[in-house]
Structure 1
Amino acid sequence: MKILLDTISICGKPVERPTQSAWDNFARILGTELPDDYKEFVSTLGTGVIDDFLWIFNPASTNPHLNLFTQRDECLSALRVVSDHGEPIPYGTFPENGGLLPFGATDNGDVLYWITRGRPADWKVVVNESRGPAWVEYSMGFSRLLGDLLRGHIQCPIFPHDFPRTRIFKPAIQQNRLPKNEA
């Protein structure tokens, strides 16, 4: 996690940083803990966007477009609708073991999910293309994936070829817009 945080420049004062008691409450509501690296990231940086493109959901966010609980409901509902209309979804949905739980989205509407199999520390990540059938699964968790993407060690074929242009995290309060798929 330290490598990821050292990779990112923060532009502005962090907002909506959950406390430990808030995390305990979130775990009670979800019925599971969340990965420690994600909790450390959100507790340190709060709600915001990386490279004006990749938004990380926060269970403490007052913005429904960035709130983990609201987006869990929205994203999983959308997957069920798509599945009901015949598009194959290669994963179950949270709270099933191995089900998807969203933790972020891009300005293009792509969604990043955890595959909730096993302990939260072992959850892998999958990215779903918003306007197509592509799913890209990574054999790594939250902080390693973000760190490798930001350092250019890997590229997500769903993301624009020039991501990331910067390694800047901007707190959501400084944003004058919603993620593009929510505008």
Structure 2
Amino acid sequence: MAAMDVMEKPGVPELLSAVHRLTAQRAGEPVCGTRGHSPGHTCLVPPAGVGLPDLQEAVGSRFGEPRGLVAGGSVDPAASARSGLPLLTPFGGRVVEMRAWAYGDRWIGCGTARAADGDVRPVVLVAAREDPAAGMPEPASWVERIVAVTGWDTPRVRTVDWAAVEARLGTALPGDYKRLVEIFGGEGAFDGFLRLQVPDAPSAGSDIVRHTEWLGEWARTRGGGLWEPYPVYPAPGGVLQWAGTEQADQVYWLTDGPDPDRWPVLAQEDVPDSWRRFDGSTGEFVHRLLTDPGHPFSTARHFDVHWYQSYGTPS
């Protein structure tokens, strides 16, 4: 008999629904009903008979890859308020395992803690998350500003053979884009909304090389009417897609000129003749999307605190 999918196990959908309610924007300070626990978080009751791996898989299916906070009772020495430390506060030194997910102005935690009777039990909680950029001096570069505003863990740096990537594409790429890929890693989305296309992604639609080749072939064999009045790369001065949104908008560079750092950004909604041009760098486009309510694709109209949701590293 096939193993039961974790989402089909009794109590799991209800648990995730409770997590979603607690992560709603501007929901107010979370309060815990557990005796002796201070405000600032809410503990949830894990479903009976559902183990920690299944709980973490269920939360991860909705909120992406977690950050490790505690393993085998040892707290990550780099743990801080920016990386999920508020999830440990309710349990003192009794946490055995804990993984953290950022979502807007909330932390989501799933792990185990030692109870007063000595038993190690699963715990799931949602805690307040401070704005990681609050009180910080403004960084110099646009990429550094994106790291600051999302509270991303910068030691996770990915090595990319850019010479090979650019040789296959037939063009150099903007430096801001390459740095974003190196810092934020594989597939993922800013505010769960703007998704970068990256080299060596598991899916062809998220892989900047394979997707560029596919778009170019489509335009060559079926015509480029969907992108008018612009040609499609590798046509000279064509549009080259580097990101998309959860609402099926597409974000391109207009490869006009020899210096990719000076390429403008073109974004197209999922309707014909909806191009919007942005005369700034890739990093500036992303930062303003996160922080400027006037940006045409802004997430700042919906979220006060921002994050990057990782979908895992490329295979």
Query: When the two structures are superposed, what TM-score results if normalisation uses the length of structure 1?
Result: 0.78
Hey, what's the Cα distance between the residues in 1 that align with 2:202 and 2:308?
18
8 Å CA contact 2:199, 2:208 repeated in 1: yes
Hey, what's the Cα distance between the residues in 2 that align with 1:89 and 1:57?
22
**2:240 corresponds to which of 89, 93, 101:** 101
Task: Give 4+ residue runs of structure 1 displaced > 6 Å after superposition.
Answer: none
**2:206 corresponds to which of 47, 62, 66:** 66
Match of 2:130 in 1: none
Residues 91-116 of structure 1: CA distance to partner in whole angstroms, max 9, x if unpaired?
A: 11112332100000011111000011
What one-letter code is carried by the residue in structure 2 that aligns with 1:3? R
Q: Give the RMSD, CA atoms, in angstroms.
A: 2.8
The 10-residue stretch of structure 1 (25-34 or 91-100) with the greater mean CA deviation from structure 2? 91-100
**1:10 corresponds to which of 113, 131, 152:** 152
Match of 1:133 in 2: 273
Hey, what's the Cα distance between the residues in 1 that align with 2:243 and 2:277?
15
Query: When the two structures are superposed, what TM-score results if normalisation uses the length of structure 2?
Result: 0.47
Hey, what's the Cα distance between the residues in 1 that align with 2:266 and 2:159?
25
The 10-residue stretch of structure 1 (47-56 or 66-75) with the greater mean CA deviation from structure 2? 66-75
What one-letter code is carried by the residue in structure 2 that aligns with 1:10? W
Counterparts in 2 of 1:127 and 1:165: CA distance versus 1, 3 Å: farther
> Between Structure 1 and Structure 2, how many residues are aligned?
168
8 Å CA contact 2:165, 2:199 repeated in 1: yes
8 Å CA contact 2:241, 2:253 repeated in 1: yes
Hey, what's the Cα distance between the residues in 1 that align with 2:223 and 2:151?
37
Hey, what's the Cα distance between the residues in 2 that align with 1:5 and 1:161?
16
Hey, what's the Cα distance between the residues in 1 that align with 2:303 and 2:256?
29
**Aligned counterparts, 1:157-168, within 5 A:** 162=301, 166-168=305-307
Alignment of 1:52 onto 2:192: yes
Bigger helix share: 1
Which one has a bigger Cα radius of gyration? 2
Secondary structure at 2:206 match in 1: coil
Hey, what's the Cα distance between the residues in 2 that align with 1:50 and 1:95?
28
Q: How high is the sequence identity, in percent, across the aligned residues?
A: 23
**1:38 corresponds to which of 150, 166, 177:** 177
* Structure 1, gaps ≥5 residues long: 175-183
Match of 1:117 in 2: 256
Report the alpha carbon displacement of residue 10 of structure 1 after superposing the two structures with TM. Answer: 3.1
Hey, what's the Cα distance between the residues in 2 that align with 1:3 and 1:64?
29
8 Å CA contact 1:18, 1:60 repeated in 2: no
Secondary structure at 1:10 match in 2: coil
Report the alpha carbon displacement of residue 88 of structure 1 after superposing the two structures with TM. Answer: 6.7
